[in-house]
């Protein structure tokens, strides 16, 4: 709650507060509700790069918790919620993912594994594979990040996540880990 009992939903840089809103700057970090190992939900943090109308959010200090976030079925089209060059740069080079290192330190994630998804994404796109994918810790990077990123469909992403869970080994872990910097630094296949 902001001063005076008003609640502000950050909706983008340069937005002026309306009637009844507190004059605070845009929130730089957001937390998305994702499903972790064992189906346990957690708040995955990211640098905020998107602003859209109707974000259902709750401000908590320096972070904004986005309860419901719509995720497009395909990330190959330009996203209108990315409203600045800085945000586009963060997305292209995955700089918005860096705060997730905190989750690696706390044991909620590991560097390599299936990406943590929302419950609606898991239900709609992973179906019977959902339980298998959430049986392991999610990762900051994984097979679909190094083999196609945003150009892949959910069907392809699910197949790669299931393959990673079933065939997980130290060799696969390091193969993905060593290929991630090149993929990220080139910005190839990023949304």
**Which tokens hold the place of 26?**
């845009």
What pairs with residue 30 in β-bridges? 46, 64
Helical H runs in 59-114? 85-92, 101-106
Structure confidence at residue 65 (pLDDT):
62
Exposure of 2 in the CB half-sphere (CA atoms within 13 A) = 16
What pLDDT, on the 0 to 100 scale, is given for residue 6? 33
How far apart are the C-alpha atoms of 187 and 191, rounded to whole Å?
9
* Residues 101/49/52/20 CA torsion (nearest 10 deg): 80
The confidence score (pLDDT) of residue 93 equals: 76
What is the pLDDT at residue 111? 96
Q: What distance in Å separates the CA atoms of residue 39 and residue 51, rounded to the nearest whole number?
A: 28
Contact 10, 31 (CB under 8 A): no
The CA-CA-CA angle for residues 71, 144, 40, to 5°, reads 60
Residues 135-171 pLDDT 10s: 999 999 999 888 887 788 889 999 999 999 999 999 9
Locate the domains of the chain by residue range.
Answer: 3-185
Contact between 37 and 117 under an 8 Å Cβ cutoff? The reply is no
Prediction pTM value = 0.70
Which tokens belong to 84?
């600045």
Per-residue tokens: 185: 């630094």
In this structure, the dihedral spanned by the alpha carbons of residues 125, 82, 52 and 74, taken in order and rounded to 10 degrees, is -20
Tell me the C-alpha distance between 63 and 24, whole Å.
13
How are strands ordered across the β-sheet holding 56-60? 41-47, 29-35, 63-68, 56-60
> Which residues have CB under 8 Å from 53's CB, separation 6+?
11
Which residues of the chain, if any, have pLDDT below 70? 1-27, 48-84, 87, 90-91, 187-191
């Amino acid at each position: 709650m902001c001063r005076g009992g008003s609640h502000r939903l950050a909706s983008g840089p340069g937005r002026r507060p309306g009637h009844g809103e507190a004059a605070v700057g845009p929130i730089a970090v957001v937390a998305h509700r994702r499903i972790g190992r064992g189906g346990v939900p957690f708040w995955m943090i990211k640098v905020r790069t998107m602003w859209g109308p109707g974000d259902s959010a709750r401000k908590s200090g320096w972070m904004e918790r986005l309860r419901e976030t719509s995720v497009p079925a395909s990330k190959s089209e330009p996203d209108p919620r990315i409203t600045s060059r800085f945000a586009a740069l963060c997305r292209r080079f995955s700089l918005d993912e860096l705060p997730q290192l905190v989750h690696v330190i706390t044991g909620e994630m590991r560097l390599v594994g299936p990406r943590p998804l929302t419950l609606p994404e898991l239900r709609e796109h992973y179906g019977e594979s959902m339980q298998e994918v959430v049986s392991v810790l999610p990762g900051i990077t994984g097979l679909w990040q190094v083999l196609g990123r945003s150009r892949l469909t959910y069907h392809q992403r699910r197949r790669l996540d299931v393959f990673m869970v079933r065939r997980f080994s130290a060799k696969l872990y390091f193969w993905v880990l060593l290929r991630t910097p090149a993929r990220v630094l080139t910005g190839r296949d990023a949304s």
